[in-house]
Amino acid sequence: MDDLINKRCLPCEGGVKPLDISEIHKYQKKVDGWNVIKNKSEIYLLEKTFEFKNFLESQKFTNEVGKISELEGHHPDITFGWGYSKIAITTHAIEGLSENDFILAAKIDQITNV
């Protein structure tokens, strides 16, 4: 995971192929507990639910994810409420997963390890 944490998300305007399933599985081994799923449009994404003791902790975590996402210029879909924050990451411009998604996942995991 350290190699991902030390990288930066690169702007993606499309024109690049998304990672294939074998590449996805190689990257998935570098992040902790992220599930690779397909959405209803059959696009791969990373998804993970984080659990907290209360609403304020989940809100604080979600705000930290927002800060990291803004710094990286790569923005996940976030759902949160009392005791949880669910993060879904994909590269919309290529309709699939890229290295950026795994970089962001690794950096999000770092928040919970501080």
45-65 pLDDT per residue, tens: 999 999 999 999 999 999 999
pLDDT at 114: 45
Contact assessment for residue 99 and residue 8, using Cβ atoms and an 8 Å cutoff: no
Res. 6 pLDDT band, cuts 50 70 90: confident
Distance CA 47, CA 96 (A): 13
CA-closest candidate to residue 84, choices 54, 110, 105:
54
Distance CA 101, CA 89 (A): 6
Contact assessment for residue 85 and residue 54, using Cβ atoms and an 8 Å cutoff: no
State the residue for tokens 């950026």: 100
Place domain 2-6+35-112 in its CATH homologous superfamily: Transcriptional coactivator/pterin dehydratase (3.30.1360.20)
The yes-or-no verdict on residue 14 having pLDDT over 80 is no
